[in-house]
Amino acid sequence: MMISQTIDLPLIKPNWPKVASVQAFTTTRQGGVSLPPYDSLNLAYHVEDDPQAVSQNRQLLAQKLKQSAIVWLDQQHTTNCLYVDHTPQQIPTADAIWTDQPGLVLSVMTADCLPILLTNGKRVCAIHAGWRGLVDGIIETSLNQCITRAGDDSWQAWIGPAISAAFFEVGDEVRQAFIQKYPLFTDYFQPHGQKWLADLAAMAEQILRFHGIEIITQSGLCSYADSTRFYSYRRDNQTGRMASLIWLEAKAESDK
């Protein structure tokens, strides 16, 4: 049952070229009912927040979007990309999801990792990508499933709020994992004492370009730097999760 209250729930629209048949948003941490340190629109059950607060936050989001069929994932930094044509009865374990069915809202949750949304106006895809997912091939797996099909036309991607290169410190093992797979990625790591600062968003963009996506828009928003709007696991450790959502609009009866 939807809760009845005035909704003051900020949403961020992707700053990409709009496609008439597609809706997409990223939530912020604002507008929900969770108490600190999850204040306030935490959408994840697995972070030890009060389950009733999370449930109410999800209801608030559904009411704000005027959409009830939100598909949530159990994200485990896998390379699993799932096709859905209905709302699953059980939450699937995957880190990417796509559909060609109108009215299904696809979601991925993040708190520093990259949310990547893709569409060609006929299909939509949402990807959760941390550094391990990028190295292991979550983008490639997703593109191979939802794009390599006869009759495909122009696709575009949006890379949403995530930790920026100024704050994402990694060890040499992470750098080596990337440059062994992508030798040209040496430029995306800058020395920082005994470690490196890594530009995840730039690497994700380059992987998308490697695989034929030409229209790519970066949000330019840093989850670590903006504590007012965003959760950040690196910054706070015990914290909530935002959601990035995308769906194909259902046609009105008069349009069918």
Domains, in order of start, for the chain: 18-162+222-250 (3.60.140.10)
pLDDT in tens, 97-114: 999 999 999 999 999 999
Are 175 and 189 in contact by the 8 Å Cβ rule? The answer is yes
Residues 33-76 pLDDT 10s: 999 999 999 999 999 999 999 999 999 999 999 998 999 999 99
pLDDT reported for residue 152: 61
Percent of the chain with pLDDT over 90: 87
Q: Is the pLDDT of residue 160 over 60?
A: yes
pLDDT tens-digit map of 2-36: 444 556 899 999 999 989 899 999 999 999 999 99
| Mean predicted lDDT score pLDDT of the chain | 93
Say what the pTM is. 0.94
* pLDDT tens-place string over residues 177-219: 999 999 999 999 999 999 999 999 999 999 999 999 999 999 9
Which pLDDT does position 42 carry in this prediction?
98
Cα within 13 Å of Cα(69), Cβ side? 15
